[in-house]
Amino acid sequence: MKTYQKSADLFERAKHLIPGGVNSPVRACRSVGMSPVFIEKAMGSKLVDADGNEYIDYIGSWGPMILGHAHPAVTKAIGQVLKRGTSFGAPVDLEVEIAEMIIDAVPAVEKIRMVNSGTEATMSAIRVARGVTGRNTIIKFDGCYHGHADSFLVAAGSGVATLGIAGSPGVPETVIAHTLSLPYNDLDTFVSVMKKSGDSIAAVIVEPVAGNMGLVPPAAGFLSTLRQETAKYGSLLIFDEVMTGFRVSYGGAQELYDIDPDISCFGKIVGGGLPVGAYGGRKDIMSQVAPEGPVYQAGTLSGNPIAMAAGIATLKELMKPGFYEALEKSSARLAQGLEKAAAKTGTSAVINRVGSMVGLFLTNQPVSNFADAKTSDLDKFAAYYRKMFQRGIYLAPSQFEALFVSAAHSDQDIDATIHAAEEALSELSIK
């Protein structure tokens, strides 16, 4: 019999000290009717909580653990750099090395600036776009989440969608006035808005594969239309590849779909699981960033040697022959197994997948945008989540998040997950 007393005690202590008892809202597990477990350790595809319970993990620290937890190459690199120090607040060779690796991997990036989070990367990219174009208005898409900066909390996905928050107190109306949020994958609406307002649009920012409303792939022609229209009106196209960068392919979603954005944002994998972000693009754009240009952005811990070392070690592993082919095979095995489990149990479900990102929606209609995702049965998802959790499967505690497969997930892990899903869905269908 599993017990969770240590986690419960820790959560009670945390609630008196930290808002909601957590340092990021989705972790509170409120939308699935649970309290969080506190993690003690992780290795490979597994997590172990404070009470010693083991789980097969499909959150992967929300994406960066593409190699699995505590990969030997990454932990070795961290250990080596620790001997040199933990933070210098000064240039270090490792940030030059990882910059070269990212630029080599992503042709649209000619210069890059390291920062400390995905939010910082997207926030900085927007500032650069406004500075370069002299315009104020940005376009984002409903259900896409680009971090918690003021400009992005209009019709956002991830935790904002999970908690049912329409926007956020504390965001001035004057900021919201400069953000237009359009339906994802709706080409006609986007073209119409650009025809009307394109000359005033500084940038269009998009998750090229949406991972914060569940997993939603781009429709045929969607990304190419964004590229054509932004070029036509002199707006900048920003790809938020914080999730997709080095995950859906080594060169990210822009390599997968053959689109060159003006600015690209990265995070997660490029830090090997440590706090990191990055934004980069064409030389003429990035040369506007201080101290080379007038657009100011700074960070005391940017280029932190530990994060740089972890990122370099991770990217070196991803470059090995056959890595993505093996990951694709495992991810397809999971997605196909979930589809069969849903069909066998008579469950209305949609499984979307791009590379090693997977989304399961408990709905009876295709999911191509945020409105479609919101047709999912949230109560049924919460029950499904709890049943999977009881069976040792650690999923994102929200219908509006993607699952991440890692190289550490074995066929046995995936088969156990599919079996658990079939049992869980079968129990729900009986009710």
What is the C-alpha separation between 259 and 9, in angstroms, rounded? 49
Residue 140: active-site member: no
Best CA proximity match to 212, nearest among 348, 357, 356, 364: 357
Burial bucket for residue 14 (CB in 10 Å: 0-12, 13-18, 19+): middle
- The Cα–Cα gap between 113 and 405 comes to 28
Catalytically annotated residue among 46, 140, 268, 380: 268
**Residue 42 β-bridge partners:** 47
6 in active site:
no
Catalytic residue among 4, 55, 145, 184: 145
Catalytic residue, from 57, 186, 240, 262: name it. Answer: 240
Could you confirm whether 268 is annotated as catalytic? yes
Listed in order, strand segments (DSSP E) in 81-194 are 111-115, 137-141, 179-182
CB 149 within 8 A of CB 238: no
Distance of alpha carbon 217 from alpha carbon 257, whole angstroms: 11
DSSP 359: E
Give the CA angle between residues 329, 45, 5 to the nearest 5°: 145
d(CA 182, CA 234): 19
Separation CA 149–CA 124 (nearest Å) = 10
Annotated active-site positions, please? 145, 240, 268
